[in-house]
Homo-oligomer: A and B are copies of this chain.
Amino acid sequence: MREISVLDAATLRLRARKGLYTQPTAGQAPGALQTNLVAVPQRYAFDFLLFVQRNAKALPLVEVLEAGRYESQLAPGSDVRTDVPRYWVYRNGMRVEEVLDAREVWREDLVTFLIGCSFTFEAAMMRAGLPVRHIEEGRNVPMYRTHRPASPAGVFSGPLVVTMRPVPLPLVSQTVTLTARYPLAHGAPIHIGAPEELGIRDLNRPDYGEAVTVRNGEVPVFWACGVTAQAALEASGIELAITHAPGHMFLTDVSDESANLAVF
């Protein structure tokens, strides 16, 4: 278990920029909207935006920064190339590198997508007395590739990826209704109780992140996850993509209540 003090979003971004914060961001900046980051070359931007649209449960779009833009409107003073704790770099669909500063690999034609993350609703879960096991245990959230396909678009296709949080049976209903209020954080779970129905063989061996304890009387609850994008980038084989490392998110300054507001 790691001991990490709780930072606000702007402080965490600055520390990440200096290479001083390199851990997962669950539990940080409670109540701030946290996002996945995906940057792809302009020529793939339409396909990726359409992929995002067609998989809005896994990839709820928060913001798009056109090529040459680095500052999120939701985080004044930010730079998406430096303010994420860890980045993954994909070349030809293969993850070739993990970097703390993405400027060394950035390209001027990259379009950046910020996509909501379930960490956003964890502060609300904790306020409601619901358990968030990976925060309790100081681990990264466990993430699993499922056998459910995402809806393809252009060059992008792949499996739906999910996060898992164990929930005591008497609290499952409340967990569903609470998280459903946060559509930009993936909203309600997509499955409750049977990992094998999603094609997950062993909860102790997540595909990304770290395993957490599931106690007696608890069921695994699964939410759609933005790492669905990474899985599609791998399958696409496009020449370059830069993403956050799973669990190491871009933090905005806006409240989780924004993730609660539908744009509608």
Which residues of A are at the interface with B, using a C-beta cutoff of 8 A? 42, 45-46, 49-50, 53-54, 56-57, 60-61, 64, 66, 154, 180, 183, 186-188, 262-264
Contact = CB atoms under 8 A, between A and B. Distances in A.
Given A46-B46, A50-B66, A57-B263, 14 more contacts: A46-B49, A49-B49, A49-B53, A56-B263, A56-B264, A57-B264, A66-B154, A180-B264, A183-B262, A183-B264, A187-B264, A188-B264, A262-B262, A262-B264
A149 to B, nearest CB: 16
Contacts of A180: 264
Copies of this chain present: 2
Nearest to A187: B264
Q: Which of A50, A54, A183, A188 has the most CB of B within 10 A?
A: A50
A50 B66 CA distance: 10
B53 A50 contact: no
A12 to B, nearest CB: 27
A175 to B, nearest CB: 16
A186 B262 CA distance: 11
A53 B64 contact: yes
Q: Which 9 pairs, one residue from A and one from B, show the smallest C-beta to C-beta distance?
A: A183-B264, A46-B46, A187-B264, A56-B263, A45-B46, A49-B49, A50-B64, A53-B61, A183-B262
